[in-house]
Amino acid sequence: MTHKITFQFENPNEETKTFEAETGETILEVAMENDIELHHNCGGVCACTTCHIYVNQGMEHLKELSDREEDFIDRAMNPKLHSRLACQCDILHGDVTITIPDQSQYLGH
């Protein structure tokens, strides 16, 4: 089954983009498949915070937040109540809209 994932960006130079995703894919995988710049220094194994995102809509369509992920989110830059790690956001059903925080802190800009 396919779902729509909409990527919004804190960086005002980036345009909103929407892509299809399959059930079971992570938001990080969808980003990588579609050339969306979203760092993932640990390789997507929930061992860092570089793929930190904000879920604007559709949190109920994602795999539940684990204790391990919650521990890492607490260390992320500017965490919010709707923060998640993209590597841990398995798409279960439905459409999701997320915001990618400014990635320049990881790119050295």
**CATH number of the domain within which 44 lies:** 3.10.20.30
Residue 104: the pLDDT is 72
Range of the domain at 57: 2-104
* φ, ψ dihedrals at 87, nearest 5°: -70, -15
**Does 50 reside within a domain?**
yes
Per-residue pLDDT of the chain (109 residues; tens, 9 = 90+): 899 999 999 988 999 999 999 999 999 999 999 999 999 999 999 999 999 999 999 999 999 999 999 999 999 989 999 999 999 999 999 999 999 998 776 654 4
Q: How many domains does the chain have?
A: 1
Residue 1 pLDDT = 84
pTM score: 0.92
Domain membership of residue 109 (yes or no) is: no
Cα–Cα dist 36/72, whole Å: 22
Structure tokens at 75: 């260390």
Residue 95: φ, ψ to 5°: -95, 150
Question: What CA–CA distance (Å, rounded) separates 67 from 25?
Answer: 20
